[in-house]
Amino acid sequence: MQTKHHLLGDKTSIRLVKLPRGGYTLVEILVVVGIIAFMIALVGSSTGVIGKTQGLTAVTEITALCDLARSRSMDGEGPVMVAFATSGDFVTGEPYRSAILCAEDTSTEAPDDYMAIAEWFYLPTGYVFSNIAAATSTAGGNVLTAPNSIRRVKLPGSDETVELPCLGFGSLGEVVFPEPDTTSQDTLLIAIAEGTASSNGPVSQRGGAHQPGECRWVAVRRNSGTPMILP
């Protein structure tokens, strides 16, 4: 007589075999894509922050340079002015990217001759002084193109004088030049934007002239001479 054990036979062990997959699941692909998108967004936002920081640095530094010129004028050294390089013929000065403090040249009898009293100041790489006009004429006039802004300046490393657009301050801190005329505004503007300099002047990153909205602006009122960063 067969026992129950013999009727059922030996117990068979069952093993789960993991078969090789043919690829990633949709969920896994979506997770990877999400991580990549997050990293791209993170890098992009970091780059934007860097650009904004450099732009803020540029306007802050040129504001400080104007404040220094104004302060030295009020201390009896004046008129002290900020001269802006507008071509590549100057010793170490980069066109539309550099500026320098100047005061009256006491070695000459010419009343309108000035000489550098400091080293060149440079905007951060990739930024230039733009000669673009403001969106509205009531906002003020760009100092690079303002009437009566040109002065003869003797630069470091050279005995020759060159003509540069300048912003000068008097003993009371007021703007003394460019001198006002019938076409002058009460406010002088310094425009800074991303771009490069060419033989024809500053060029925007996209090519061609800057647009007012691409610039950061520093305003200097004639009566007070106090520079102010515009929002």
Query: What is the Cα–Cα distance from 218 to 56, expressed in whole angstroms?
Result: 11
More confident residue, 53 or 90: 53
List Cα–Cα distances, 30 to 34, 39, 40, in angstroms: 6, 14, 15
The whole-angstrom separation of Cα 137 and Cα 186 is 11
Which range, of 71-80, 180-189, 211-220, averages the lowest pLDDT?
A: 180-189
Contacts for 45 with CB less than 8 Å, ≥ 6 apart:
none
**Mean pLDDT across the stretch 14-36?**
57
Residue 38 parent element (H or E): helix 26-72
pLDDT tens digit string along 36-61?
A: 655 544 444 333 333 568 888 899 99
All domains in the chain, ordered by first residue: 26-229 (3.55.40.10)
> What value does the mean pLDDT take over residues 105-116?
80
Of residues 12 and 178, more confidence is placed in 178
How much is the average pLDDT of 219-228? 95
Which position has the token pair 């129950």?
A: 4
- What's the mean per-residue pLDDT of the chain? 81
CA 77 – CA 220 distance, rounded (Å): 20
Residue 180 has a pLDDT of 81
pLDDT, residue 49, reads 39
Instruction: Enter the pTM of the model.
Output: 0.75
Say if CB 54 and CB 126 are below 8 A apart.
yes
DSSP state of 185: -
pLDDT at 103 > cutoff 90: yes
- Record the tokens describing residue 178, joined without a space: 């460019």
DSSP state of 104: E
